[in-house]
Amino acid sequence: MFAQNEVPAWCRALPRAEFKDLQRVPLSQSWGDLVLPDDMRASIDGFLDRVRFRGDVMGRWGFGRKVGRGHGITALFSGPPGTGKSMVAGLIAAELGLDLYIVNLSRVASKWLGETEKNLGVAFDEAERSAAVLFFDEADALFAKRTEVRDSHDRYANLEVNYLLQRVETFTGLVILASNRRAAIDEAFLRRLRFLIRFEMPDRAARLELWRRAFPPEADRDELDWDALAASDLAGANIQSAALAAAYLAAAAGEPIAADHVAVALRREYDKLGRAFPGLPVGNGAQT
């Protein structure tokens, strides 16, 4: 999908992170599994170019002296659940030949004063040492807006945010935040981010393409009415989940994947979302 440029050799030579509170995220998808609008593709290309050409721009061209502290590259992926934020983070890391490590919030956060900052510091240091991409999912849990201090809990929460602000500013590696609630993130973080990429719900044309790509070519299936399926107002992750569920229903019945299996799977997907299943409208006929 993206232009191939050489990743600096020092990135590939560094050791992998081994910090117990960083979970390495494996990846099986490819860029071909995504359907992205052109403006988002351009933003992701820009993120990748920041990494690929950072040595030239910051070093050989002298911009490092102008920027001052923090030559790191930070991005916020915001938008509704299931729109591909985590998947794109993994694909970016794979494109660069780097590991993606997700911060385990349940192990990093601590009720003890100063312990959360200590754990986060180790995570940042380890990611920096190994040139890994550090990924904060549901980032608003840590990067939330500071509040007026009314009690000790507010004071300690603000101290954590202040520490993160300082650490992000001095970090020299790659950080990606993902959140369904951009408005909940402290404005000071937003000012320090290099990229703000908004993930939108797919429109009908995008859903049509997502449904077509949801079934592997080797899958045994009947003809499906793609236009009717595209009418379902779902995110990409929900479409893939419904396609997978339909495949299991068909396999259990010893049949090719058919419209009936997809309809049952879609109903279950709507139930998970707490929404009424509108049924499958009549399209223009089954299409391969």
Cα 140 from Cα 187, distance rounded (Å): 12
Cα 223 from Cα 285, distance rounded (Å): 9
Strand extents, DSSP E, the chain: 22-24, 73-78, 100-103, 133-136, 174-179, 195-198
Work out the angle at residue 112's Cα, subtended by the Cα atoms of residues 108 and 118, and round it to the nearest 5 degrees.
45
The pLDDT, as a whole number, for residue 221 is 95
How does 3-12 read in b/e, with b if 16+ C-beta sit within 10 Å?
eeeebbeebe
The pLDDT, as a whole number, for residue 1 is 43
Which amino acid would we find at residue 174?
Answer: L
Assigned token pair, 150: 């009314």
The pLDDT, as a whole number, for residue 113 is 63
Question: Cα 113 from chain centroid?
Answer: 30
Using the 8-state DSSP alphabet, how is residue 199 labeled? P
**CATH of span 9-198:** 3.40.50.300
Integer CA distances (angstroms), 215 to 27, 134, 246, in order: 18, 31, 10
pTM, 2 dp:
0.80
For each of the chain's 288 residues, which pLDDT tens digit applies? 444 444 444 344 444 545 555 667 777 888 888 898 999 999 999 989 988 888 888 888 888 777 766 677 888 899 999 999 999 999 999 999 888 888 867 666 666 666 777 778 888 888 777 778 889 888 777 776 655 545 445 555 666 777 777 787 777 888 898 988 888 887 877 777 788 899 999 999 999 999 999 999 999 999 999 999 999 999 999 999 999 999 999 999 999 999 999 999 999 999 999 999 988 764 444 443
The pLDDT, as a whole number, for residue 279 is 82
Domain residue spans in the chain?
9-198, 204-272
CATH for the 204-272 domain, from 1.10.8.60, 3.40.50.1820, 3.90.1010.10, 3.50.50.60: 1.10.8.60
